[in-house]
Amino acid sequence: MLILVGLGNPGPKYAYNRHNIGFLAVDAIARRWRFGTERSKFQSLVSEGSIETPTGPVRALLMKPQTFMNESGRAVGAAVNFLKADPADVVVFYDELDLAPGRFRMKHGGGAAGHNGIRSITSQIGPHFRRARMGIGHPGHKDRVMGHVLSDFHKVEGPWVEALCHACADALPILAAGEDEKYQTEVMRLAPAEKLDPRKAAQAGPGEV
């Protein structure tokens, strides 16, 4: 079973924060592929469904950990242990400071690059899971990072956020087939975004990126 994890913080206060773009992505996946009703399990909100691929349907579990971002690994670890899943069956959608807003990159394994949610997951299941990195840009200085990720997307950013989440959902059969590089290419084809310096892009005013 494929485990698709969106990272974020629970509750309406955080719903449209930049840090919650992972939640927005898996919500788009649930709608596009008509996953079942959400329920509480593995310290998360989860739903199940299947994704049609050229070689047949792939069962998938969607997860939105409700542990708050820094403890996401407790939820993911519980699911992986219960399902006896391989870390390579886990794909985590999350906000990436080092990509310009709207950019998208897949990565397999590696470090956490300062992301506490990824660090927490690594502590529970090791580093060899798949990462779907969704660019939100960098505020330019580390002292401003917390305020940046925990602030809402500007209204003018709504179109690219929606386009990127929909692209992640529409291209999902490629990901389910295990072709991560092709998935990355297709997401960026469906939701093109200019390749900019993430620090300069995030510092531009609304509508300037």
| Residues noted as catalytic | 19
Nearest-angstrom CA–CA distance, 37 and 203: 39
Q: Both tokens of residue 93? A: 């959608």
CA distance 24 to 17: 10
Radius of gyration of the chain (CA): 16
Q: Are 92 and 85 a contacting pair, CB within 8 Å?
A: no
The sheet carrying 39-41 orders its strands as: 39-41, 44-53, 56-65, 2-6, 90-96, 130-135, 104-108
Where are any strands of DSSP class E within the chain?
2-6, 39-41, 44-53, 56-65, 90-96, 104-108, 130-135
CB 115 within 8 A of CB 205: no
